[in-house]
Amino acid sequence: MDALTVVAEKIDAKTPASRRNFEATNILTVATAVAASALARTESRGCHRRTDTVEAREIWLRHLQVSLRNNQLIIDNLPTESA
């Protein structure tokens, strides 16, 4: 996530409006959502692999829902017990 934060900090009001810049911003937004979801999931499942867990847990048998609300990244459907 640190690398994405560095890129995001380079975007400001002086960035010219162009198709290329809009596409780059959209890609950055999606990459940030994917990375945040991966960090929130504390087990390996499907293509998501973690080296700090050995096996999948039933509590994580769910889809996470990521959205932007008021310029904040929100992850819904996290289990109440995440450890």
82 inside domain: no
Is residue 72, in this structure, part of any structural domain at all?
Answer: yes
Over the range 17-47, which residues count as b (16 or more CB within 10 Å of their CB) and which as e? Answer: eeeeeeeeeeeeeeebbeebbeeebebbeee
The domain of 17 spans 2-76
Say if 81 falls within a structural domain: no
21-60: per-residue pLDDT in tens?
889 889 999 999 988 888 888 887 777 778 887 777 888 8
- Phi first, then psi, for residue 73 (nearest 5°) are -80, 120
Strand partners, 72: 69
Rounded-to-integer distance, Cα 57 and Cα 67, Å: 24
Instruction: Count how many domains the chain has.
Output: 1
Q: Is pTM, for the whole model, over 0.85?
A: no
Assigned domain for 65 exists: yes
Least reliable range by pLDDT among 53-57, 61-65, 69-73: 53-57
